[in-house]
Amino acid sequence: MNYWLIKSEPGTYSWDDFVKLGRDHWDGVRNFKARNNIKAMKVGDICLFYHSVTEKAVVGLAEVVKEYYPDPTTDDHRWYVMDVVPLRKLKRPVTLAEVKADGRLDQMKLVTHSRLSVQPVTEEEYGIILELSER
């Protein structure tokens, strides 16, 4: 199993919107690194759901339930989506400020490549995020 972080602007598509749907494809990715990360995702992988722009916090956990396929929102064959389902909301959001303040996370892609909308997360980073959410 691998871990990932997926970003969404809460004003456009929030955790609550995702939960209401129960399952959705992750579309709109138009960055080749992020696209390649989508292609690397496998069924059973876990994603940290991150509210970007205004909130800047990890708010929930999702699971990949279908591997990449062509993005149905575009005719451009270069872009892909994957299907995810919500697992659970975190006990409390973990802010970007908290992530940056924790020296154990100084190499996390969220810190080093903050604009990437779909990014890998190490098992250790995933565990630290969960630990921070319990504080």
pLDDT in tens, the chain (135 residues): 999 999 999 999 999 999 999 999 999 899 999 999 999 999 999 999 999 999 999 999 999 999 999 999 999 999 999 999 999 999 999 999 999 999 999 999 999 988 899 999 999 999 999 999 999
Complete edge-to-edge strand list for the sheet that includes strand 46-51:
24-25, 80-95, 57-70, 46-51, 3-8, 118-121
C-alpha count within 13 angstroms, C-beta hemisphere, residue 63: 7
Nearest to 12 by CA among 48, 47, 44, 55: 55
The pTM of the whole model exceeds 0.85? yes
Helix (H, G, I), strand (E, B) or coil at 69: strand
Q: In the prediction, which pLDDT does 28 show?
A: 87
Q: Which domains does the chain have, with CATH numbers?
A: 3-133 (3.10.590.10)
Q: In the prediction, which pLDDT does 89 show?
A: 98
How many angstroms separate the CA atoms of 51 and 43, rounded? 23
- Please, where are the H alpha helices in the chain? 15-21, 32-40, 96-101, 109-112, 123-133
